[in-house]
A and B are shown apart, each in its own frame.
Chain A
Amino acid sequence: MSSPQIPATSEPLHLHVPEPSARPGQATDFSYLKLSPAGAVDKPPVDVSASQTAPLTGQLIRVLDDNGDAVGPWAADIDDAVLLRAMHAMLKTRAYDARMLIAQRQKKTSFYIQCLGEEAIAVGQTLALRDDDMQFPTYRQQGILVTKEVSLVDMICQVLSNAADPLKGRQLPIMYSYKDYGFFSISGNLTTQYIQAVGWAMASAIKGDTRIATAWVGDGATAEGDFHAALTFAHVYRAPVVLNVVNNQWAISTFQAIAGGENTTFAARGVGYGIPSLRVDGNDLLAVYAASRWAAERARSNLGPTLIEWVTYRAGPHSTSDDPSKYRPADDAQHFPLGDPIDRLKQHLIKRGLWSEQQHDEVRTELDAEVLRALKEAETHGLLGSDNRPGAALMFEDVYKDMPEHLRRQRQQLGV
């Protein structure tokens, strides 16, 4: 028997299924993004409590204003050399992506993923870390490798799965692994690396090391259970880790609202786990660097984890297998209110007399040529599907440290 206070009848329930504000042929209403003016958001001390950061998770930390000036509390103390290095790395990352896209269209490789529009985040954070910290990237943080000046030839050999592929042809293109550069092995399974980063950070703490870890995930993949596990463990053990959420608004075809972003922010989740959290303009290199440096200092000072939501936009297709014009406006990226990270840093650097249009064009031209040279050199080691590919015998190695008997038999069966 229900209580008399509960109405016997009510309106039929209905399921709420979030939709983006615009589909192909329409114009996105970006007012759902909670933006703050540059310089408006406080910079708390690094020993801030999680609850004290709650207001920040509904705001947006930005340094560069519309005029390209660096303003506010997060603007202080960034070396010009860092900014110039960041510009170079962002341009190189974009040049690399553009050339690899062409290589995929030319069928030199089977697959590629660009990070168009998101270059500032990986580049900016990498510049705020030490060389021996370990990053646990997704497939869209190639800017880490470019910033660390990993050999482009080596990276392209992986993309081409050729005889010089450091991963011996076993991995899908772009699933790099560079232990010596603090770049953890990329997995196709989303968010698995997020909790692994926490475990790595716990290990560093157990051993009394001073190295920290960074974890990376996209907006869509925050819905995976490993995201929850990572935040729980990071908080419980106060792990020295920076938990990055790159909110590029899209998970293949699904708008970030389907991941749980409607009427909330991903940064807000961190506070619920007891983790100080920030929400930052991901297309503002100065803000990325400053926030990353702040989070790294917290981690290295035994103050524990930080969650950072980077607000950006996935300007390109999800991958070379994707056509975004089937689910979102074709010109969406041009209307994204946080603009383009390279254009914005360029405006700032030019205004400060550190850069010029001419330099910009020259460097771009040089980088295009450098990437093309690297591609040509990589191609001398073979292309996907050519005879110049990793030997079939390599297929059986590294499954275990020592090859067990059954794999020896299978290798012999194949005759290699």
Chain B
Amino acid sequence: MSGIEQNNTGGTPMTMIQALRSAMDVMLERDDNVVVFGQDVGYFGGVFRCTDGLQTKYGKQRVFDAPISENGIAGAAIGMAAYGLRPVAEIQFADYIYPAYDQIVSEAARMRYRSGGSFTSSLVFRTPCGGGIYGGQTHSQSPEAIFAHATGLRTVMPSNPYDAKGLLIASIENDDPVIFLEPKRLYNGPFDGHHDRPVTAWSKYPNNRVPEGYYNVPLDKAAIAREGKALTIITYGTTVWVAKAAAEDAGIDAEVIDLRSLWPLDLDAIVNSVKKTGRCIVLHEATRTCGFGAELVALVQEHCFYHLQAPVERVTGWDTPYPHAQEWDYFPGPSRVIDAMQRVLED
């Protein structure tokens, strides 16, 4: 079960924002080499409040504001990591990470390899991603595929406060560069794609407790967000909640895998589930063509071919820029997942 499901006693109710802040607080306290910086991250505490209070607590040498320069933030973080710090750098929106792409892919991802292991890039780039918030073209994107494609990076995306804290702590402690994608749609509460229904805040959610202190959720390990036997839905981030809602709505016994670590990933979890169910849907917000779903489909085909009883379906964002007015025509909500489940079960 996903962390939040298994952790409904003890701990403190936290939103994903509070959980992420707690992770940084814990690591700033625990390791003198951890520094946190980015646009509006210091005094103001971040445009999403994820770093609220950290500068006051740890000082400007540890938590500070940065110029509006994503390549500068990334390059400076890489230099700091080469020195021996563990920077946790924030890119305000994943949509604005592209100026840093050269630094992340050409430099951070390859530092250990090209230097024969002498220089490393033990750092984390945190960045809010995903749609479902009327963010339009440049506040909604899900660029995980371009990072999953870059050798040397780890790409991680949590779907709930417990995992968010545990995965961020594990990412900060990890010695490889980590792209830590935070679905901003989930910052304040779970979201199942039913935009016409009232949204539940994390505080109202029954299983929202997060330990105050140190713990981690290991990288490269998926979670079973919903157990089932009829088919497997492989997903991550906001669409974990969409998949669960779709299964409940349609009364289909779907197994929902929350990948958590996109790459490197937990292949065993995928293979075990698909071999059990024989049917598979890949679900993500990002656009379809050459999206991360294509890699997931290929892995399922390679490893589960003789167990498959139907073609693997992809439910994804359309191959268009993320629109504003057509938000709910674009976002892969429960009805599209239900349609796909019915097609997969018909075969």
Give residues in A with beta carbon < 8 Å to B: 134, 136, 166-168, 170-171, 175, 177-180, 184-185, 187-189, 192, 194-204, 206-207, 213, 225-226, 228-230, 232-233, 236, 397-401, 404-406
Given A195-B76, A230-B72, CB of A398 within 8 Å of CB of B117: yes
Given A167-B115, A192-B102, A229-B69, CB of A199 within 8 Å of CB of B75: yes
Asked whether, in the complex, the Cβ of B75 is within 8 Å of the Cβ of A202, the reply is: no
Contacts of A170 in B (CB 8 A): 113-114, 116
B301 on interface, CB distance cutoff 8 Å: no
Given A184-B119, A187-B107, A405-B267, CB of A204 within 8 Å of CB of B83: yes
Asked whether, in the complex, the Cβ of A229 is within 8 Å of the Cβ of B71, the reply is: yes
B80 on interface, CB distance cutoff 8 Å: yes
Contacts of A200 in B (CB 8 A): 79-80, 82-83
Q: Please give the distance in Å from B270's CB to the nearest CB on chain A.
A: 12
B155 on interface, CB distance cutoff 8 Å: no
B11 on interface, CB distance cutoff 8 Å: no
Asked whether, in the complex, the Cβ of B152 is within 8 Å of the Cβ of A399, the reply is: yes
Contacts of A404 in B (CB 8 A): 220, 264
B61 on interface, CB distance cutoff 8 Å: yes
B185 on interface, CB distance cutoff 8 Å: no
- Size bracket of the B interface: 35 or more
- Which residue of B85, B118, B154 contacts A185 across the interface (Cβ within 8 Å)? B118
Contacts of B264 in A (CB 8 A): 400, 404-406
Contacts of A196 in B (CB 8 A): 75-76, 78-79, 82, 107
B111 on interface, CB distance cutoff 8 Å: yes
Q: Please give the distance in Å from B77's CB to the nearest CB on chain A.
A: 6
Asked whether, in the complex, the Cβ of B114 is within 8 Å of the Cβ of A177, the reply is: yes
- Which residue of B72, B78, B80, B83 contacts A232 across the interface (Cβ within 8 Å)? B72
B151 on interface, CB distance cutoff 8 Å: yes
B67 on interface, CB distance cutoff 8 Å: yes
Asked whether, in the complex, the Cβ of B67 is within 8 Å of the Cβ of A400, the reply is: no
Distance, CA A168 to CA B113, complexed state (A): 9
The digit string for B90-119, where 1 denotes a CB below 8 A from any CB of A, is: 000000000100110011001111111111
Distance, CA A397 to CA B82, complexed state (A): 19
Asked whether, in the complex, the Cβ of B119 is within 8 Å of the Cβ of A185, the reply is: yes
Distance, CA A178 to CA B76, complexed state (A): 20
Contacts of B112 in A (CB 8 A): 398-401
- Which residue of A134, A398, A405 contacts B113 across the interface (Cβ within 8 Å)? A398
B120 on interface, CB distance cutoff 8 Å: yes
Contacts of B176 in A (CB 8 A): 400-401
Interface residues of B in 179-194 (CB under 8 A from A): none
Q: Please give the distance in Å from B86's CB to the nearest CB on chain A.
A: 10
Contacts of A198 in B (CB 8 A): 75-76, 79
Asked whether, in the complex, the Cβ of B119 is within 8 Å of the Cβ of A187, the reply is: no
Given A232-B67, A405-B267, CB of A202 within 8 Å of CB of B80: yes
Distance, CA A201 to CA B117, complexed state (A): 21
B84 on interface, CB distance cutoff 8 Å: yes
Asked whether, in the complex, the Cβ of B151 is within 8 Å of the Cβ of A399, the reply is: yes
B62 on interface, CB distance cutoff 8 Å: yes
Asked whether, in the complex, the Cβ of B61 is within 8 Å of the Cβ of A400, the reply is: no
Contacts of A180 in B (CB 8 A): 118
Q: Please give the distance in Å from B169's CB to the nearest CB on chain A.
A: 17
B212 on interface, CB distance cutoff 8 Å: no
Distance, CA A134 to CA B176, complexed state (A): 22
* A to B contact number (C-beta, < 8 Å): 141
- Which residue of B79, B110, B114, B152 contacts A203 across the interface (Cβ within 8 Å)? B79
B5 on interface, CB distance cutoff 8 Å: no
Contacts of B75 in A (CB 8 A): 192, 194-196, 198-199, 226, 229-230
Asked whether, in the complex, the Cβ of A206 is within 8 Å of the Cβ of B62, the reply is: yes
Q: Please give the distance in Å from A160's CB to the nearest CB on chain B.
A: 15
- Ordered by A's residue number, 7 sampled pairs between the chains whose C-beta atoms are within 8 Å are A134-B83, A167-B115, A170-B113, A189-B102, A199-B77, A232-B72, A404-B264
Distance, CA A321 to CA B80, complexed state (A): 35
Distance, CA A405 to CA B267, complexed state (A): 9
Given A202-B80, A206-B61, CB of A187 within 8 Å of CB of B69: no
Distance, CA A230 to CA B74, complexed state (A): 11
Q: Please give the distance in Å from A238's CB to the nearest CB on chain B.
A: 13
Distance, CA A180 to CA B102, complexed state (A): 26
Asked whether, in the complex, the Cβ of A192 is within 8 Å of the Cβ of B107, the reply is: yes
Q: Please give the distance in Å from A93's CB to the nearest CB on chain B.
A: 22
Distance, CA A405 to CA B220, complexed state (A): 10
Distance, CA A230 to CA B67, complexed state (A): 11
Contacts of A136 in B (CB 8 A): 79
Q: Please give the distance in Å from B291's CB to the nearest CB on chain A.
A: 18
Distance, CA A185 to CA B78, complexed state (A): 12
Q: Please give the distance in Å from B85's CB to the nearest CB on chain A.
A: 5
Contacts of B84 in A (CB 8 A): 203
Distance, CA A232 to CA B72, complexed state (A): 8
Q: Please give the distance in Å from B275's CB to the nearest CB on chain A.
A: 17
Distance, CA A180 to CA B118, complexed state (A): 9
Q: Please give the distance in Å from A54's CB to the nearest CB on chain B.
A: 23
Asked whether, in the complex, the Cβ of A203 is within 8 Å of the Cβ of B115, the reply is: no
Given A189-B106, A229-B69, CB of A171 within 8 Å of CB of B82: no
Distance, CA A194 to CA B76, complexed state (A): 9
Nearest B residue to A241 by beta-carbon distance?
A: B79
The digit string for B34-62, where 1 denotes a CB below 8 A from any CB of A, is: 01000000000000000000000000011
Q: Please give the distance in Å from A57's CB to the nearest CB on chain B.
A: 23
Other than the given A185-B111, A405-B267, 17 more pairs (CB < 8 A) read A179-B118, A180-B118, A184-B119, A187-B110, A192-B103, A195-B103, A198-B75, A199-B76, A225-B71, A226-B71, A232-B72, A233-B66, A233-B69, A398-B112, A399-B112, A400-B154, A400-B264
Q: Please give the distance in Å from B155's CB to the nearest CB on chain A.
A: 12
Distance, CA A110 to CA B154, complexed state (A): 33
- Which residue of B85, B116, B152 contacts A166 across the interface (Cβ within 8 Å)? B116
Asked whether, in the complex, the Cβ of A175 is within 8 Å of the Cβ of B77, the reply is: no
Asked whether, in the complex, the Cβ of B116 is within 8 Å of the Cβ of A177, the reply is: yes
Which 7 pairs between the two chains have the least Cβ-Cβ distance? Answer: A199-B79, A195-B75, A229-B72, A199-B76, A203-B83, A196-B79, A185-B115
Asked whether, in the complex, the Cβ of B116 is within 8 Å of the Cβ of A167, the reply is: yes
B313 on interface, CB distance cutoff 8 Å: no
B327 on interface, CB distance cutoff 8 Å: no
Asked whether, in the complex, the Cβ of B114 is within 8 Å of the Cβ of A167, the reply is: yes
Given A170-B116, A399-B151, CB of A225 within 8 Å of CB of B99: yes
Q: Please give the distance in Å from A255's CB to the nearest CB on chain B.
A: 25
Distance, CA A398 to CA B336, complexed state (A): 42
B175 on interface, CB distance cutoff 8 Å: yes
Asked whether, in the complex, the Cβ of A401 is within 8 Å of the Cβ of B78, the reply is: no
Distance, CA A197 to CA B80, complexed state (A): 9
Contacts of A134 in B (CB 8 A): 82-83
Distance, CA A136 to CA B78, complexed state (A): 12
Distance, CA A201 to CA B82, complexed state (A): 10
Contacts of A185 in B (CB 8 A): 111, 114-115, 118-119
